[in-house]
Amino acid sequence: MSIRAIKGTRDILPPTSSVWNRVEAVAREVFRTFNYHEIRTPIFEETALFARGVGEDTDIVGKEMYTWEDRDGTSLTLRPEATASVMRAYIEHRLDQIPGVKKYYYIGPMFRRERPQKGRYRQFFQIGAEAIGSESPIVDAEVIEMVVAVLQRVGLKAAKTADLISSDLDPTESKGEEGFHLLLNSVGCSKCRPNFMATLRDRLKDVAPTMCADCQRRATTNPLRVLDCKVPDDQATIDTLPSILDHLCEECHQHFKVVQQHLRHRGIAFEIKPRLVRGLDYYMRTTFEITHGALGAQNSVLGGGRYDGLAESIGSKVPAPGIGFSIGEDRLVMSVGEETQPAVDVYFAPMGDAADALAGLLCAELRAAGISVERSVDRKLKRALEVANKMGARYALILGDNEIATGTYLVKDMASGEQVGLTRDQLVEHIRQKKN
């Protein structure tokens, strides 16, 4: 058997690759308007970075990383996410010395060794952004506003949200299933979360035995996950469990309140979901997620949150509070849907040796004018036009002995079939005009 792409990886081919390009271009443009700048970090790092940053006990670190030992014995890991790397770079280059809130974005592949499924790959792509250097809830709201802007600009519609706070997202435009849906929560801080965890564990001791097998297990391994259980019979019990939002300390409560206020000011619809749990240890206070109905089981398009303690956990002496998100680009592209690749402007068919000799320079001129050109290598005009048609070319450009004798170029509009003989000067103008 021939060599194939390995499990969980894939080739992104045209025309789908053009959707990826568009999504990335839109993201970059939106980020620019919020004054975010690109950061490119290495694709592998010392394993310890992720172990400490993401958290030893998370599934990501515990069983999903691609880790190997380098020749000198250091343990290296293909990055499973980028926030830890951005923070590492921030600390390493003393970016805290730059005034104001530091804003970075990245686009690139991440690696997690999970069982592949639709919307979940072992090499997948994230578009993410981080705002570091401020604890202000205004930054939280702005980050969320920015990512919502990316989704909208890419053509997604907001879904009808249950406890909708009035909105310019125009929720009536789409049916609940189809659009995207912003979920918001606060998971507290190092002061208040332990209290909540204690009461939650306490309660679970009593109720867990009546719940599903998964929940009984989670009750000890990962109590927060119980809140996220989808088994119908468990829902009644879950409703009786304490909510993190009732256990926030005063600072966290205030912070969360202000985030919501600012989202309302901007008319961004959201749903508060006290059960929203994130799988990375570094999250605190604000967490959020956006789901999209068209995706199936892996319906989360992006997730994010605040990570004020991350810098310290990877060894920084200076605090570096921050908030960020990452978009699952593979999933975003899926929910955007297919698009057709822009067709070539001109399919150029030179016929005969004299035309061949002139062809190169003419192609160069057209391209220099911004016109895309495919030069035919077929000898027969009939064949050339067939190919031009199949490619969806807008124009066929014919140059043979007849044209050379009269000093013209025959331009054929493939849609209408009309042909005109033009001089060299008229040629570029003609094609450009109709191109717009």
Partner RNA sequence: GCGGCUGUAGCUCAGCUGGUAGUAGCGCCAGAUUGUGGUUCUGGAUGUCGUGGGUUCAAGCCCCACCAGCCGCCCCA
Q: Which stretch binds RNA (CB under 7 A): 20-28, 325-333, 337-345, 360-368?
A: 325-333
Among 15, 42, 209, 296, binds RNA (CB under 7 A): 296
- If one counts every other C-beta atom within 10 angstroms of the C-beta of residue 318, the result is 11
Minimum distance, C-beta of residue 342 to RNA, in the bound complex (Å): 17
Q: Which stretch binds RNA (CB under 7 A): 159-167, 172-180, 189-197, 224-232?
A: 224-232
Among 301, 314, 359, 427, binds RNA (CB under 7 A): 301
Minimum distance, C-beta of residue 279 to RNA, in the bound complex (Å): 1
Among positions 336-355, residues that touch RNA (CB under 7 A) are 351
228 binds RNA (CB under 7 A): yes
CA 187 to the chain's CA centroid: 24
Whole-number Å distance between alpha carbons of 382 and 348: 13
Q: Give ∠ CA 111-117-118 in degrees, rounded to 5.
A: 105
Rounded to the nearest 5°, which phi and psi values hold at 252? -65, -40
DSSP state of 155: T
DSSP state of 127: E
Q: Are the beta carbons of 306 and 321 closer than 8 angstroms? A: yes
Total site size for RNA, rule CB under 7 A: 69
Among positions 377-436, residues that touch RNA (CB under 7 A) are 380-383, 385-390, 398, 400-403, 410, 412, 414-417, 419
DSSP state of 161: P
Whole-number Å distance between alpha carbons of 226 and 212: 10
129 binds RNA (CB under 7 A): no
Among 3, 6, 236, 368, binds RNA (CB under 7 A): 6
Among 87, 268, 277, 323, binds RNA (CB under 7 A): 277
Whole-number Å distance between alpha carbons of 285 and 280: 13
Map tokens 């189809």 to a residue: 178
Q: Are the beta carbons of 57 and 281 closer than 8 angstroms? A: yes
Q: Which is nearer to RNA, 209 or 267 (CB)?
A: 209
Among 19, 51, 119, 256, binds RNA (CB under 7 A): 119
Minimum distance, C-beta of residue 128 to RNA, in the bound complex (Å): 8
Q: Which is nearer to RNA, 81 or 308 (CB)?
A: 81
Minimum distance, C-beta of residue 410 to RNA, in the bound complex (Å): 5
Minimum distance, C-beta of residue 181 to RNA, in the bound complex (Å): 13
Q: Which is nearer to RNA, 35 or 336 (CB)?
A: 336
Among 27, 30, 39, 60, binds RNA (CB under 7 A): 60
Q: Cα separations (Å) of 195 from 81, 133, 187, 244? A: 29, 27, 12, 10
Q: Which stretch binds RNA (CB under 7 A): 66-74, 113-121, 187-195, 364-372?
A: 113-121
Whole-number Å distance between alpha carbons of 314 and 28: 29
Q: Which stretch binds RNA (CB under 7 A): 16-24, 110-118, 167-175, 187-195?
A: 110-118
Q: Cα separations (Å) of 157 from 21, 167, 327, 338? A: 20, 12, 16, 16
Minimum distance, C-beta of residue 317 to RNA, in the bound complex (Å): 27
Cis peptide before 15 (omega within 30 of 0): yes
- Pairing state between β 373-375 and 346-350: parallel
124 binds RNA (CB under 7 A): yes
140 binds RNA (CB under 7 A): no
Q: Cα separations (Å) of 68 from 43, 65, 76, 89, 92? A: 14, 9, 6, 22, 24
Among 52, 88, 102, 218, binds RNA (CB under 7 A): 218
Q: Which stretch binds RNA (CB under 7 A): 85-93, 107-115, 192-200, 314-322?
A: 107-115
417: left (phi over 0), alpha (psi -120 to 50) or beta: left
Q: How many residues does the chain have?
A: 436
162 binds RNA (CB under 7 A): no
Whole-number Å distance between alpha carbons of 398 and 419: 10
Binding site for RNA (CB under 7 A): 1, 4, 6-8, 58-60, 64, 81, 112, 114-121, 124, 126, 214, 218, 222, 225, 228-230, 277-280, 289, 296-303, 326-328, 330-331, 351, 380-383, 385-390, 398, 400-403, 410, 412, 414-417, 419
